[in-house]
Structure 1
Amino acid sequence: MDHGAIHSVFASLTEKQEEALRLACQHLTSKQIAQELGVAPVTIDKRIDAVRAKLGHMPRVEVLRHYRAWAEAYDRTIDDPTILTPPLSSAASTTAQPQERPYVFEDSLAFDARAPWDRSSDWLQPRIRPSDLGISGKLLLIALGAVAIMAVAVLSMAFANALATML
């Protein structure tokens, strides 16, 4: 697709699509953009996918590079001017990725293990989240919790009673 066609697609974007692309150019994930705008992450993905469809299903990073070039050409501001790196060379790198750094893929931005707001359910077994449990699973979990609390209360009263008889 030539630059003129790409620029005409960007000129015809809705305000919400343009806002999603602008925030994506700031290295925000769909979840972070959704959190900032107060919408669901799937909504952000749909907005960006609609733009990608207009551009022949171009990879997301390429869309963001073209959007940045279009925004700079038409004096539109994107908060941080040094967001996207130049395109990677066509030869794939065979060097090992350092363990302490996030993985970087040719067709994407950087992926970290988990976002900070997703770390709240670390007390559960891996791969099991409260949203994965059905209504019966949640009720069973509540019932088991109530039984555990009652057992602690009974044992505490028995211990207090044993101490009282010893004195």
Structure 2
Amino acid sequence: MSTQDAFAVFDSLTARQHETLALAATHMTSKQIAIELGLAPVTIDKRIDVVRARLGNIARTELLRLYSQWIDMHDRAIDDPIILAIQRGKQAMTAMQPADPTLTFADSLSSDLQQNWGSDLIRLRPGLRPSDLGVAGKLLCILGGAVAMMVVAVLSVAFASALMSLF
């Protein structure tokens, strides 16, 4: 099969086939591609084999060589998913991210006991901290804030209606 015929086949591939071939062209194995895409390695092999069959059952290395040439010859927009997939694949091969520790969220009522809030925290009065309020004190503060917002909303509506009655 000629190079032009192969390029015509590459032009008609699906986005998933392009994504798979682009990662394979970066010298990733089927298992590495499967991990990257969250698929089974068999699925990756099937996608590649379908393209190989359309090209006359050429060798995988020859397919990837032709595909690399096809990528180099075509102008692609910078946000093209094929280009982004190639960059992501190269990055995944060269630099593995370290595993982060699992983050656990503390209960919202006890979080202030565990956190260092710093000295810039606005205090209710000197020496009183939010953790000194307890559960009932915190709930009363929340309820007081909600009532204050409701009063502001009612006064705003009353003011707006008074202005409308003037016109």
TM-score tier after normalising by the smaller chain length: 0.3 to 0.5
Larger-gyration structure (1/2): 2
Q: Which has the higher contact order (CA 8 A, sep 6+)?
A: 2
TM-score by length of 2: 0.46
Calculate the TM-score normalised by the size of structure 1: 0.46
